[in-house]
Structure 1
């Protein structure tokens, strides 16, 4: 068990921010997180956070994953004090961090996310993990499933994937898995690209549009200038930023601002005030 004190970290806010779909609330104080084949239980009371994992996993996997070495207060302090909407959003979601997730997992996850709600996305991803991921047994006998490898999903048919409740997205997932498995898509090459080039490369993949590409750039490649625009963000831009979002002011942190806005729209504003 690793116990540390963290500022600007709230595991519940991170879970609810739409970045990842294998994070779940086990009880009032405990959250389980599966990333690839890794598993951790996180408990938080105030700023004290417990990570139930080995020292090695914490240092070399979970610190980068949760972006714990970054100072998120500097992002909050960068918000224009005259922008009352963004100030409120940043204050409300000040415990959010941009996760550093696996590119392959995010590609498949956000292909599945299209025209889908978070609860159903979680269920679809859990279905493919249970069906095609590696079964892993914890020391106490509990089990979970790692995220499927490209070859495992490539071996599944489109019909098999539809049986996992993917719907029309099964075709996107099937084609992506085949392309990655046979080398048509080189994920290591995409990892080394700039934001602009990575976005363009991702949009060449069947089923990936601009919003999905931006989500992958932000949540897998940690390219913080990515600014995914879905219906929630579009409504905010239309209402609060009629001249456009102030991109120049927030260069290098636009994605962090997007997360504050997205989470605020989902959880922070009474529906009658929107």
Structure 2
């Protein structure tokens, strides 16, 4: 099916922006995204730079993927103020904040602590292979879906310990136990304020303020929240005299943060 996206949309940047760890580029012009039990293959159409070929039906695109890619939001309307922010914006535009499944984001960002993006991907893929449901895709690939809390709860730490989790293992076990004992724990977050959601998430062992902000941004679409990691902290200190610029951007703060983060990890010598 052919679809049109008129706003900024760059698949390579989205995949490499540090917000998703299972999306991948299959070849020069084919990308795969996974959302729960839905798998999307998407490629650019040669006839028009705003047109894309997608592997799903029109109903699935409208009901799942349109929302997943945050396509009801106009990213072109964002107007950066400071010079460095403008630089990050011009370089990183095309990134969109994906609306991802909360349990996957919870586990993924617990794992992300003090790990490189490739290492995070390796650990997550290992978890999926060991605990996730096998899935044969429309493009004849055999993959594994991200495991549910129930699937992870059935296994012991000896199995999880082979997924290169290190000191994060007890945090993962606590998260699985918490969600298994309270199946509504994550869905309750949709009805909370930003502050309440962050406190709620931080009740899980190993979830600090940065990880909580990441989950809130990438699972709950709380775009006024801007996670502060090592790279963003360096930017604040070197480019903004130690004063966070994100208050200037209101509901776009999380988008600006992603633009800065992507710029930083691709221009490490300039930060």
Q: Which runs of no fewer than 5 residues in structure 1 stay unpaired?
A: none
User: 2 CA distance for matches of 1:27 and 1:118?
Assistant: 20
Q: Matched residue of 1:39: which SS?
A: strand
Q: Compared with structure 1, are the counterparts of its residues 129 and 240 closer, same or farther at alpha carbon in structure 2 (3 Å cutoff)?
A: same
Q: Distance in 1 between matches of 2:5 and 2:178?
A: 43
Q: Is the 8 A contact 1:2 1:50 kept in 2?
A: yes
1:272 to 1:22, Cα distance in 2 relative to 1, 3 A: closer
C-alpha distance in 2, partners of 1:134/1:272? 42
Aligned partners of 2:132, 2:242: CA distance in 1, in Å?
46
The residue aligned with 2:231 is: 232
Residue pairs, 1:196-235, within 5 angstroms: 196-235=195-234
* Aligned partners of 1:2 and 1:52 also within 8 Å: no
Determine which structure has the larger helix proportion and give its number: 2
Map 1:1-274 to 2 at 5 A. 1-44=1-44, 46-75=49-78, 77=79, 79-80=80-81, 83-139=82-138, 141-183=140-182, 186-267=185-266, 269=267, 271-274=268-271
Say if 2:2 and 2:51, in contact at 8 Å, map to a contact too.
no
**Partner Cα separation in structure 2 for residue 166 and residue 247 of structure 1:** 32
**RMSD between aligned alpha carbons?**
1.5
Distance 1:237 1:139, change over 3 A: closer
Preserved contact between residue 247 and residue 253 of structure 2 (Cα < 8 Å): no
Aligned residues: 268
For 1:173-197, what per-residue CA distance to the aligned partner results, in whole angstroms no more than 9, with x for missing partners?
A: 1111111011187112122111111
User: When the two structures are superposed, what TM-score results if normalisation uses the length of structure 1?
Assistant: 0.93
TM-aligned CA deviation for residue 272 of structure 1: 4.0
